[in-house]
């Protein structure tokens, strides 16, 4: 895939589509996938702060499910930022999950932030992986080999824009699709960095054949492959 | 309040009446097992002080308890001690020792401000402090001006609340001014204080050497000059202003000592041929080094094993370092008090002349050193400023008042807090806002689920053990300076690097730390793995700890420039040099260097007037860049630069970069953007200054970093919870996003206001910057110099410093300088 004009969705093959807001749409099962919500971030960092992002995340998911007519919502790990929460915060997270369950079928995949119990206490039933349309969906904190194309989160891929600014981005390779973090608190992992290349290499993906699609709240921006983006970045001196 | 230079025996002075009191009680058989005196020092390593200043004299007087001595006995219902006990309680004190301290309280307890705060919050310790008679606060000058000291001032008032009788406070300080403010800091707003000022006891001499002929000396030349000074005298301390310079100079000195200095021309060769620190007689000491490394260096210095130690501010304070013959100041010390403190480390005995030598790296250093000497002679030293009611400190202290389950009325809290000098102007509404936030009130109309204490509008109270843990695990105001350990593959770590610096490091980069040249092998969560490297460093070092020149010095430098300018204006060049020799005791060579420097500046550009800046417009790498020369010091320039950048951003599209030093600041426009002279002229308008500064700070890493500190101190976001560091267990919290959100929801939130206050008042000098804009006598003078002007060399080359290897910087300056000379000689047409 080459760099292309911005779009409201980008087809990734196999009936998967990248959507604004970092959501993934799976045609066959009408599933909406979202990774790394990091709910209750404000408190899990040790903060005595209002849980601002909790309702915002829920509303965004409700709107997206309604807009696409989703039959299933898949939370792809790191649903919460931490599991040691005050009673009040835990109750609100649970209530949020309950409301999402009312929306459509809710599938929760556990992530590393769900702690040793993999979320069971706070989120109810969680699974380690699910298979949809011939793809294996898991959080990505425990890389594994399989004959399937992987769909993961965990890495928080993003394009660094200088300073501390960045824009979340999908990574799309024949071997794996990496979703950006839905949490607005994520700093992101620069897709041009070594750590990111090393992480996708674990799935057999290479920089030359891995595409970067930036996702803002309203649009998707296909940037072409990591390798060509890296060249452009060097020439335009916008990111390191 | 006793003010006298380091090494004149003031700690013993403070303790003598206490020893006397204890001895008399012993004679009367009325020495009860209660703590009588508390000694508070900002230094964590108290071991030496205890031995030298307390235990040794007690032992010599036969008052000190020996391990085999007879225990206390009970008579007439009270425990009476047979000897005086001392104890140390710091964060490092083992639990067993702490327990013992409670059952047998030491008569003299030595502690740090943070440990005092912890003790005050614990009922068991409070009981042992009820009969306290004396509090000795050491190194007051290092506490009064910062938040750590602000917290201590509140703790001292808390102490007063629990003591049965008024406590006598004794403060010890090195040179500081004005003493009245420091004295008020010590005793609070409602008590009288006697000031003992013996500052004139010791004399210092300050010599200036400028080992260069052009514009600047490369560090290797400075090192050679240092080397010959070290050879002539005995043990030497070499002070630098930046940590990275400490490393570079030690590297050069060791190379000179080893005689096999790697030539810059030599291709880089892998291997461990670089001189190893262990064989060297040149030590390095700065705060980024592991504590054990620093202690070893101190011990070797005391033992006379080292010829010289290259250090940053870390050896300025009272760590005992034995006999020092001379002090070298590379580049100067950026302040009068700092110069006195640093040079005062030499000739460490009363009455001895302390010898200091400034090794000037460039011509600005000569001017700075000359002005410093004049200020010392005039007794013009920096004025200490107490932080103005820092609300983060207030919030943490409020929690300490109520843990685990105490209750106190808001009126009482206000009364106690206002007795502490930094909080004399504390507003009731600010106190209430802190209480509301700690009480779970959240932000604007959004409550938080976590409450640190209970609050009902009239009183605050503790919420039991869990809530107390937040206080005990996060006590203190020292920012959590994020640093990353650096190790050689297969060895233990030998130093640490700031995280901001590490963010810019890449595999393959070469840098110097603890005098070792190393190449980065890998960077991961656990630290940086390196390999010894022979060859030049490739990475410009971190400069986040660059100190700005302090105020009286800035003003004296203005007088010096102005004096020379007026004489040059009148065509009296010889008189200008003669005036410098007279007023600043410069020798003819240094006076000539200074005059020709300012003369060159006038030839290609202009000299900034105290009330009229010069704006030099350049095109650098095709980008329009303005160097605004003000001469008002780095802290004020930093504020001006942010205001200017905000204004420029409104006029052009794209990224505007800024860079600051003591002389001025640089504003660089994005590609293709150009401003007309008339637009540059309006850059420093005083109108809307505060709004523009605020806009310029929002989204800056400066504000974000300080918000992180404020949020940690004010317990908005904890550093530690449940016995572990939250940073290690989760991602570094996103202080930028949280701050943005807070500002959006409620910009009156107490910790948001505190963040702006501490950045504008404690970090930047926004007030001076505004005053400067308000008192301009004419719009800035706009010039388009044909070549870089000498006063802008520093700032122009530091902007290049981001792109080229460090070793090249002085070469760059030389190249600029040669260009300038060629221009002056008529070889380059304007």
A17 forms bridges with which residues in the sheet? Answer: A11, A25
Task: With CA atoms as reference, report the closest residue to B72 among B26, B110, B123.
Answer: B26
Contact A48 B443 (CB under 8 A): no
Of the candidates B491, B490, B481, B485, the residue with the CA atom closest to the CA atom of residue B526: B485
Substitution target from B621, B623, B733 for chain A, most A beta carbons within 10 A: B733
Cα dihedral angle (B354, B355, B360, B363), rounded to 10 degrees?
A: 80
Q: For chain B of 830 residues, list the mean pLDDT of each consecutive stretch of 10.
A: 80 92 92 92 72 86 78 70 88 85 91 95 93 94 93 98 95 87 96 87 82 86 92 90 80 74 34 44 81 83 89 75 87 89 76 86 94 91 93 98 95 98 97 96 91 97 91 86 76 74 66 75 73 67 59 93 96 96 96 95 94 94 91 92 91 81 88 93 95 89 86 93 62 82 95 96 93 96 94 72 39 64 65
Q: Which string of DSSP letters, residue by residue, matches A118-139? A: TTHHHHSS-BSEEEETTEEEE-
With CB atoms and an 8 Å threshold, state whether A43 touches B738: no
Nearest to B318 by CA among B348, B293, B363: B348
Among partner residues B711, B730, B737, which is closest to A81 by beta-carbon distance? B730
Give the helix/strand (H/E) hosting B642: helix B634-651
Average pLDDT over residues A148-177: 88
Distance from CA of B457 to the nearest CA of A (A): 19
Residue corresponding to tokens 């036969």 = B62
Q: Are A48 and B451 an interchain contact pair (Cβ–Cβ within 8 Å)?
A: yes
Q: Do A45 and B726 touch (CB under 8 A)?
A: yes
Identify the pLDDT of residue B545.
47
B81 and B170 share one domain: yes
Contact B717 A46 (CB under 8 A): yes
Are A89 and B443 in contact (CB < 8 Å)?
Answer: no
Q: What are phi and psi of B509, to 5 degrees?
A: -65, 150
- Looking at the partner chain, which of B452, B721, B737 has a beta carbon nearest the beta carbon of A185? B737
Inter-chain residue contact A51 with B722, CB threshold 8 Å: no
Chain B residues whose CB is inside 8 A of the A198 CB are none
Establish if B636 belongs to a structural domain: no
Distance (Å) from the C-alpha of residue B291 to the closest C-alpha of chain A? 28
| Tokens at B769, concatenated | 């910057």
Quick one: tokens of B139?
A: 């190194």
Together in a domain, B186 and B261: no
Binary contact (B718, A185; C-beta < 8 A): no
Identify which of B43, B25, B42 has the alpha carbon closest to the alpha carbon of residue B34.
B25
pLDDT tens-digit map of A61-102: 999 999 999 999 999 999 999 988 999 999 999 999 999 999
Residue pLDDT, tens place only, A93-119 = 999 999 999 999 999 999 999 887 777
The Cα–Cα gap between A56 and A217 comes to 13
Question: Is B615 contained in some domain?
Answer: no
Contact, A160 vs A166, CB < 8 A?
A: yes
- Which tokens is B609 given? 């007037």
- From the list A43, A46, A113, the residue facing B449 with the nearest CB is A43
Given this model, what pLDDT does residue B275 score?
Answer: 41
**Token pair of A230, please?**
């890296």
Which residues, including other chains, have CB under 8 Å from residue A118's CB and lie 6 or more apart? Answer: A110, A126, A128
Position B345 scores a pLDDT of 82
Which among B378, B411, B426 is the end of a domain? B378
Q: Verify that B19 and B123 share a domain, yes or no.
A: yes
What does DSSP assign to residue B804?
S
Question: For residues B590 and B103, what is the distance between their CA atoms, to the nearest angstrom?
Answer: 65
Sign of the CA dihedral B354, B360, B365, B370? positive
Q: Please name the member of A51, A164, A194 whose beta carbon is closest to the beta carbon of B701.
A: A164
The string of DSSP codes covering A58-81 is HHHHHHHHHHHT-SEEEEES--BS
Q: Do both B125 and B186 map to the same domain?
A: yes
Alpha carbon distance B128, B126 (integer Å)? 5
The residues with which B629 forms a beta bridge, in sequence order, are B614, B664
Please judge whether B733 and A86 are an interchain contact, meaning their C-beta atoms are less than 8 angstroms apart. no
Q: Identify the domain containing residue B585 by its residue range.
A: 550-604
Judged on CB neighbours under 10 Å (0-12, 13-18, 19+), B68 is exposed
Chain B: closest CA distance from residue A94 (Å): 14
C-beta of residue B466 within 8 angstroms of C-beta of residue B473:
no
Among chain B, residues having any CB pair with chain A shorter than 8 Å are: 437-438, 440, 442-443, 446-452, 507, 655, 701, 704, 711, 715-722, 726, 730-734, 736-738, 741, 745
Q: What is the third-level CATH fold of A10-236?
A: Purple Acid Phosphatase; chain A, domain 2 (3.60.21)
Q: Between B443, B721, B731, which is nearest A46 by CB?
A: B721
pLDDT of residue A165: 67
Interface residue ranges in chain A relative to chain B, Cβ cutoff 8 Å: 42-52, 81-82, 84-89, 92, 113, 162-164, 184-187, 194
Q: What is the distance between the alpha carbons of residues A181 and A201, in angstroms, rounded to a whole number?
A: 19
CA pair distance B637, B632, nearest whole angstrom = 7
Q: Distance from B24 to chain A by nearest Cα, in Å?
A: 51
Element at B420 (helix H, strand E): none
Q: Between chains, do A184 and B737 touch, taking CB under 8 Å as contact? A: yes
* 3-state secondary structure (DSSP) of residue B657: strand
The answer on B213 and B332 residing in a single domain is yes
Q: Give the C-alpha distances (Å, rounded to integers) separating A226 from A200, A207, A239, B467, B677.
A: 11, 5, 13, 48, 43
Q: What is the pLDDT of residue B217?
A: 86
Rounded distance between C-alpha atoms, residue B391 and residue A94, angstroms: 35
Predicted local confidence at residue B453, as pLDDT: 97
Q: What's the DSSP call for residue A187?
A: -
- The residue among B95, B128, B120, B154 whose CA lies nearest residue B468 is B120
CA angle at residue A229 from A226 to A233, to 5 degrees?
A: 135
Cβ contact B422:B150 at 8 Å:
yes
Question: Do B251 and B273 fall into the same domain?
Answer: yes
- A187: chain B residues, CB-CB within 8 Å: 731-732, 734
B691 lies in a domain? Answer: no
Tokens of B108: 């003299």
Look up the CATH number of the domain holding residue B155.
3.40.50.300
CB within 8 Å: B730 and A43 = no
* Angstroms from B226 CA to nearest CA on chain A: 39
**Contact yes or no for A43/A55 (Cβ under 8 A):** no
pTM over 0.90: no
**Which residues is B238 bridged to in the sheet?**
B310, B328
- Tokens standing for B746? 């409620």
CB contacts, 8 Å: A46 with chain B: 717-721, 726, 733
Closest to B742 (Cα-Cα) out of B756, B728, B752: B752
Structure tokens at A102: 């009312």
- Whether residues B89 and B211 share a domain: the answer is no
Residue B759 lies in a domain: no
Report strand pairing: B720-721 vs B724-725.
antiparallel
- B105 and B92 share a domain? yes
The whole-angstrom separation of Cα A172 and Cα B412 is 62
Helix (H, G, I), strand (E, B), or coil: what is residue A157? strand
Q: Tell me how many domains chain B contains.
A: 4
Residue B32 is given by DSSP the state B
**Residues of chain B with C-beta less than 8 angstroms from the C-beta of A86:** 449-450
With bands split at pLDDT 50, 70 and 90, how would you rate the model's confidence at A57?
very high
Residue B299 in tokens: 């011990």
């Amino acid at each position: 895939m080459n760099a292309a004009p911005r779009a409201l969705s980008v087809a990734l093959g196999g009936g998967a589509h990248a959507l604004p807001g970092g959501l993934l749409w799976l045609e066959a099962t009408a599933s909406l996938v979202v990774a790394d919500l990091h709910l209750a971030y404000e408190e899990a960092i040790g903060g005595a702060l209002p849980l601002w992002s909790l309702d915002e995340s829920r509303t965004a998911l409700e709107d997206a499910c309604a807009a696409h007519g989703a039959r299933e919502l898949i939370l792809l790990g790191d649903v919460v930022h931490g599991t040691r929460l005050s009673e009040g915060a835990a109750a609100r997270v649970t209530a949020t999950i309950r409301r999402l369950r009312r929306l459509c079928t809710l599938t929760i995949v556990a992530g590393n932030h769900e702690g040793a119990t993999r979320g069971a206490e706070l989120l109810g039933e969680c699974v380690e992986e699910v298979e949809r349309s011939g793809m294996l969906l898991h959080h990505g904190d425990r890389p594994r080999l399989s004959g399937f194309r992987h769909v993961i989160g965990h890495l928080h891929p993003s394009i660094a824009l200088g300073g501390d600014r960045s824009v979340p981005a999908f990574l799309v390779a024949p071997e794996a699709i990496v979703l950006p973090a839905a949490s607005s608190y994520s700093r992101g992992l620069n897709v041009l960095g070594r750590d990111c290349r090393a992480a996708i290499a674990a799935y057999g993906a290479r920089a030359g054949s891995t595409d970067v699609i930036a996702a803002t709240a309203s649009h998707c921006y296909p940037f072409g492959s990591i390798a060509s983006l890296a060249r452009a970045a060097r020439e335009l001196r916008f990111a390191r | 309040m006793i003010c006298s230079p380091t090494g004149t025996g003031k700690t013993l002075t403070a303790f003598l009446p206490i020893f006397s009191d204890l001895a008399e009680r012993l004679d009367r058989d009325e020495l009860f097992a209660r703590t009588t005196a508390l000694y508070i020092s900002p230094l964590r390593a108290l071991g030496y002080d205890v031995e030298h200043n307390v235990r040794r004299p007690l032992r010599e007087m036969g008052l000190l308890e020996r391990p085999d001595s007879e225990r206390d006995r009970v008579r007439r219902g009270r425990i009476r001690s047979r000897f005086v006990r001392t104890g140390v309680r710091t964060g490092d004190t083992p639990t067993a020792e702490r327990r013992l301290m409670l059952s047998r309280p030491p008569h003299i307890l030595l502690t740090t401000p943070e440990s005092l705060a912890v003790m005050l919050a614990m009922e068991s310790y409070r009981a042992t402090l009820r009969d306290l008679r004396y509090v000795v606060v050491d190194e007051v000058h290092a506490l009064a001006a910062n938040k750590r000291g602000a917290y201590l001032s509140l703790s001292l008032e808390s102490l007063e609340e629990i003591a049965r009788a008024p406590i006598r406070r004794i403060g010890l300080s090195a040179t500081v001014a004005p003493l009245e403010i420091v004295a008020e800091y010590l005793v609070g707003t409602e008590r009288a204080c006697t000031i003992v000022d013996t500052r004139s006891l010791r004399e210092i001499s300050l010599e200036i050497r400028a080992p260069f002929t052009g514009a600047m000396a490369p560090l290797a030349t400075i090192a050679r000059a240092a080397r010959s000074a070290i050879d002539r005298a005995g043990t030497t301390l070499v002070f630098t202003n930046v940590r990275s310079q400490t490393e570079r100079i030690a590297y050069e000195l060791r190379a000179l000592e080893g005689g096999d200095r790697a030539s810059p021309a030599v291709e880089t060769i892998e291997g461990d041929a670089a001189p190893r620190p262990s064989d060297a007689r040149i030590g390095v000491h700065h705060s980024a080094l592991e504590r054990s490394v620093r202690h070893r260096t101190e011990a070797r210095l005391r033992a006379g094993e080292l010829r010289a130690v290259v250090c940053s501010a870390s050896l300025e304070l009272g760590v005992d370092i034995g006999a020092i013959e001379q002090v070298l100041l590379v580049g100067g010390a950026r302040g009068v008090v700092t110069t006195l403190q640093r040079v005062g480390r030499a000739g460490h005995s009363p009455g001895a002349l302390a010898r200091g030598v400034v090794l000037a790296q460039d011509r600005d250093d000569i001017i700075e050193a000359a002005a410093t000497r004049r200020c010392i002679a005039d007794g013009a030293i920096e004025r200490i400023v107490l932080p103005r009611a820092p609300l983060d400190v207030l919030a943490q202290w409020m929690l300490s008042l109520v843990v685990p389950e105490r209750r106190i009325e808001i009126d009482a809290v206000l009364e106690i807090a206002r007795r502490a000098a930094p909080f004399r102007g504390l507003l009731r509404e600010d106190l209430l806002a802190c209480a509301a936030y700690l009480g779970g009130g959240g932000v604007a109309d959004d409550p938080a689920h976590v409450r640190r204490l209970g609050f009902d509008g009239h009183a605050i109270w503790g919420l039991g053990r869990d809530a107390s843990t937040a206080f005990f695990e996060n006590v203190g105001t020292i920012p959590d300076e994020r640093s990353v350990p650096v190790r050689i593959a297969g060895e233990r770590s030998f130093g640490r690097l700031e995280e901001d610096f590490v963010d810019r490091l890449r595999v393959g980069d070469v840098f110097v730390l603890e005098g070792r040249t190393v190449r980065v092998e890998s960077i991961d969560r656990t630290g940086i793995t390196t390999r010894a490297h022979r060859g030049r460093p490739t990475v410009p070092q971190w400069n986040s700890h660059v100190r700005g020149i302090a105020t009286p010095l800035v003003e004296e430098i203005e007088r010096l420039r102005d004096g020379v300018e007026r004489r040059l204006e009148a065509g009296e060049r010889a008189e200008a040099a003669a005036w410098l020799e007279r007023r600043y005791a410069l020798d003819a060579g240094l006076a000539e260097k200074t005059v020709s420097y300012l003369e060159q500046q006038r030839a290609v550009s202009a000299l900034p007037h105290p009330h009229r800046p010069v704006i030099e417009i350049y095109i650098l790498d095709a980008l329009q860049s303005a160097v605004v020369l003000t001469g008002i010091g780095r802290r004020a320039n930093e504020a001006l630069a942010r205001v200017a950048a905000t204004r420029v951003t409104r006029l052009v599209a794209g990224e505007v970069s800024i860079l600051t030093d003591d002389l001025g600041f640089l504003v660089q426009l994005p590609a293709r953007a150009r401003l007309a002279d008339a637009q540059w002229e309006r850059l420093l308008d005083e109108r809307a200054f505060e709004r523009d500064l605020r806009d310029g700070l929002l989204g800056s890493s400066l504000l974000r970093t300080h918000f992180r500190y404020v949020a940690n101190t004010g317990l908005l976001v904890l550093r530690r919870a449940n016995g572990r560091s939250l940073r290690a267990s989760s991602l570094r919290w996103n202080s930028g996003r949280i701050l943005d959100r807070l500002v959006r929801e409620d910009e009156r939130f107490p910790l948001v206001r505190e963040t702006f206050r501490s950045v504008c008042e404690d970090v930047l000098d926004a007030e001076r910057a505004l005053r400067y804009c308000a008192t301009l006598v004419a719009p800035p003078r706009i010039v388009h110099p044909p070549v870089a002007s000498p006063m802008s060399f520093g700032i122009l080359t530091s902007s290049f410093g981001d792109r080229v290897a460090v070793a090249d910087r002085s070469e760059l300056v030389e190249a600029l300088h040669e260009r300038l000379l060629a221009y002056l000689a008529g070889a380059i047409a304007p």
